[in-house]
Amino acid sequence: MKILMYNAVADELPYVKQWSEKTGHEVVTIDQPLNEETVDRASGFDAVSTQQTTSVNPPVYERLSQLNIKQIALRQVGYDVFDLPAAFANHVRLSNVAAYSPRAIAEYTLTQLFNLIRHNKKFDRAMAQGDYTWAAGGQAREIHDLTVTIIGVGRIGTALAEMLHALGAQVLGVDPVYRAQNEPFVTYTTLDEALRRADVISFHTPLNDETRGLADHAFFEKVQPGTIMLNFARGEIVDMTALESALASGQLAGAAFDVAPNENDFMDQKQTVDELPENIQRLVAYDNFLLSPHIAFYTNTAIKNMVEMALNDAVIMVNGGFTENEILR
């Protein structure tokens, strides 16, 4: 079987080589995403895989179908890049890698939470100027004293909840799906109740019609002053204007984001600070705002699993089989 891997990065290539040698399937890699300009590169292949933050628009599925390619294996969790009606109308099956390494994102979320409650950015900036006093950053909080609301208690949210519970934090969960196995370490409740009680709010929900723009001005009015916000899901979940207002007013004590609605304008690129989008320049100037370049997933275990799971799913779907990673709606 011949598989074309779109948007391959250098870190993936050793695992691609290992998988190809192990399975006997041929994998060709290119460094462009799947779109209207690159879809014809798939001619002569049996399957395709991609990872990207840019949309896969309706003409792509139609062209893949014409090329007799009936699937796309996505090497990431978030599948909001897909147009599901267009894919299904053209009989193109889709998969993602929801369980490639939930701990990777959970661990990084926890890392950034520690950075916020210990005021590490304030201390780092002060020490860079020679100020090594305690007052430069201020007193920290301890995590076992915190109530953390997790919005989206799927695989990643569950992994984070287990870690937080082990550290003594109280964990509240908001999710349309109740998972009884989480009861030992998550207390499920309503969104309004969770916001009222939270010291920390952490998003781990997919982007859909219900979650797009969820954290708007009205949302922030429901949180208690001094709350911390973490977003390691999708940028469009949070209204960035409302976020900036909440930081400026002190409604939020801090925030750590690994995503942004406009991240395609500057992430995975090198530029000067002055060339960043204006709202990003303002946000990163805050001592209590942390922004990382969509790297929460970025571990050796995660990259290996993403490659192997996506390629395995591609083979399964081409052969008419079924995978638990298939996106059905």
Query: Would you kindly state where each structural domain of the chain is located, as residue ranges?
Result: 2-100+299-327, 102-291
- Side-by-side strand order, sheet with 2-5: 26-29, 2-5, 47-50, 71-74, 93-95, 326-327
Q: Quickly name the fold that domain 2-100+299-327 has.
A: Rossmann fold (3.40.50)
3-state secondary structure labels for all residues of 66-88: HCCCCEEEECCCCCCCECHHHHH
To the query of whether residue 103 is one of the catalytic residues in this protein, the response is no
Residues 6+ apart with CB under 8 A from 224: 196, 197, 198, 199
d(CA 12, CA 126): 38
Residue 134 C-beta-side C-alpha neighbours within 13 Å: 2
For residue 264, the model assigns a pLDDT of 92
Q: How many residues does the chain have?
A: 329
For residue 98, the model assigns a pLDDT of 83
CA geometry: angle 251, 253, 257, nearest 5 deg: 105
d(CA 89, CA 201): 38
pTM for the predicted model, two decimal places = 0.89
Is the sign of the CA dihedral 191, 192, 196, 201 positive or negative?
Answer: positive
Which residue among 12, 236, 263, 308 is the active-site one? 263
For residue 13, the model assigns a pLDDT of 98
Query: Residue 176 burial (CB < 10 Å; 0-12/13-18/19+)?
Result: exposed
Which residue among 196, 282, 294, 326 is the active-site one? 294
d(CA 51, CA 302): 13
Same fold, 2-100+299-327 and 102-291: yes
CA geometry: angle 11, 77, 213, nearest 5 deg: 125
Q: What is the pLDDT along the chain (329 residues), one digit of tens a residue?
A: 999 999 999 999 999 999 999 999 999 999 999 999 999 999 999 999 999 999 999 999 999 999 999 999 999 988 999 999 999 999 999 999 988 888 999 999 999 999 999 999 999 999 999 999 999 999 999 999 999 999 999 999 999 999 999 999 999 999 999 999 999 999 999 999 999 999 999 999 999 999 999 999 999 999 999 999 999 999 999 999 999 999 999 999 999 999 999 999 999 999 999 999 999 999 999 999 999 999 999 999 999 999 999 999 999 999 999 999 999 97
For residue 100, the model assigns a pLDDT of 84
CA dist 69 to 219, 322, 323, Å?
A: 43, 16, 17
Which residue among 12, 25, 234, 308 is the active-site one? 234
To the query of whether residue 142 is one of the catalytic residues in this protein, the response is no
CATH code for 102-291? Answer: 3.40.50.720
To the query of whether residue 236 is one of the catalytic residues in this protein, the response is no
